[in-house]
Amino acid sequence: MKIATIIGARPQFIKAAPGNRAIAEYNRLTSHSSRITEVIIHTGQHFDADMSDVFFKELNIPKPDYNLGINSANHGAMTGRMLEKIEEILIKEKPDWVLVYGDTNSTIAGALAAVKLHIQIAHVEAGLRSFNREMPEEHNRVLTDHCSDLLFCPSQTAVNNLRNEGFINIVTNSSPLIPNPYSSPLVTNVGDTMYDAILQFSEIARKQSTILEDLGLTSKEYLLATVHRPYNTDIPENLQNILSAFIEINEPIIFPVHPRTKQCLINSKLKIEHLKIKCIPPVGYLDMLMLEQNAKAILTDSGGMQKEAYFFGVPCVTMRTETEWVETVEAGWNVVVGADREKIVEAVRSFKMNNPRLELYGDGGAAKKIIQHLTAYELKS
């Protein structure tokens, strides 16, 4: 079997690493004729060393077979160029499956290219919904789900979202994924590959990362903040509100500044001048894991960091008006505040957790289950 894995953004590198490892383990245990060949297509959506190269190195992901270098364009132009180039590669490689992750332009471009060529699509992290139609990611994930043949959900909430949209062929992890005669997409909850990655790399991070020492940090005596969403960075008022909240909190804050955020700060002529706010360049995955698990709390508009905070048992303040990861809010470990200065400050000062962390995102074996399902489906189809 040949799988074309399409990735392009930092979160996708993290999600794809356990899958690559699961394929390697599967190949070690099976005969040569039944092995999986993985073709990695990197669209280049995240392209600089801080956002791309370091992740491939730290996560031990093989060098991409194709690097399209497509970035720094508007959504339509970027997606169109990706679609054209991915189609060319799929025609050449003739994969049995196209594997896409998450909700980026790379994801929808890969799904559209595959569905037009009648190539089977598996969507990892299917079923997520923010119910905010102003988010480009929301349209990407919805369209990708409706293009796909196998929908691998990270949580029961994601399964429920798909059921509510009319997906009826929902199976349990123990059920065989037999192709449906009516070509109805198959939906199953396998858990979250980001949890796989946390379990796989946290210990490595503790052994290899020196970022706490380099920054002079003490565990649980600083906050960690990230901001990169367009509605926080491209609207000067929102960005100003967030920065004002950071200053008012008046606690040590480590702030890895995303490239787009840095440019928006320059364009808006906003400056961060406060002794307790330390701006640093984007960090690699291992360093970020160390910063996350040792933070007193995390302030973010990232989707992945909300989950990682939950995995580490760190309170999370989400600077968005909604979240796909409603389970973390319902469990009492995440609070959604938008770009409201007062709400951000109040959330940090009053956050209390009294609830135990539950196994919301699987048991850490999501990638292995995905490969098992793909191979079983392939044998039966």
- Whether pLDDT at 359 is above 60: yes
Identical fold, 2-192+362-380 and 202-350: yes
Q: What is the residue extent of each domain of the chain?
A: 2-192+362-380, 202-350
Instruction: Please tell me the predicted confidence (pLDDT) of residue 347.
Output: 97
- Lowest-confidence region among 46-60, 209-223, 239-253, 293-307: 46-60
- Lowest-confidence region among 140-149, 282-291, 350-359: 350-359
Burial of residue 243 (number of CB atoms within 10 Å: 0-12, 13-18, 19+): buried
Instruction: Please tell me the predicted confidence (pLDDT) of residue 181.
Output: 47
- Whether pLDDT at 114 is above 90: yes
Give mean pLDDT, residues 189-201: 96
Q: Kindly indicate the confidence band of residue 352, based on its pLDDT and cuts at 50, 70 and 90.
A: confident
Catalytic residue among 42, 46, 123, 228: 228
Using CA atoms, how far residue 326 sits from 35, 226, 323, in Å, is 38, 19, 6
Give mean pLDDT, residues 150-157: 96
Architecture of the domain defined by 2-192+362-380: 3-Layer(aba) Sandwich (3.40)
- Judge contact between 90 and 68, C-beta under 8 A: no
Instruction: Please tell me the predicted confidence (pLDDT) of residue 263.
Output: 86
Nearest to 324 by CA among 117, 125, 144: 125
Instruction: Please tell me the predicted confidence (pLDDT) of residue 182.
Output: 47
The span from the CA of 223 to the CA of 348, in Å, is 9
Instruction: Please tell me the predicted confidence (pLDDT) of residue 48.
Output: 58
Using CA atoms, how far residue 56 sits from 4, 52, 83, 88, in Å, is 17, 7, 23, 24
Average per-residue pLDDT in the chain?
A: 91
Using CA atoms, how far residue 78 sits from 4, 68, 72, 294, in Å, is 20, 11, 8, 37
Q: If residue 262 lies in a helix (H) or strand (E), which one and from where to where?
A: helix 259-268
Q: Which residues of 84-101 are buried (b: 16+ CB within 10 A; e: fewer)?
A: ebbbebbeebebbbbbbb
What percent of the chain is predicted at pLDDT more than 90? Answer: 74
Instruction: Please tell me the predicted confidence (pLDDT) of residue 260.
Output: 82
- Whether pLDDT at 47 is above 70: no
Pairing of β 297-300 and β 253-256: unpaired
Tokens representing residue 61 in the block: 């992901």
DSSP at 361:
S
Instruction: Please tell me the predicted confidence (pLDDT) of residue 261.
Output: 86
Respond yes or no: is residue 32 known to be catalytic.
Answer: no
CATH 2.60.40.1760 for domain 202-350: no
- Whether pLDDT at 64 is above 70: yes
The label of the residue with tokens 């990708």 reads 144
Nearest to 160 by CA among 277, 37, 313, 330: 330
Q: Taking every pair of C-alpha atoms in the chain, what is the biggest distance, in angstroms? A: 64
What percent of the chain is predicted at pLDDT more than 70? Answer: 94
The span from the CA of 297 to the CA of 352, in Å, is 11
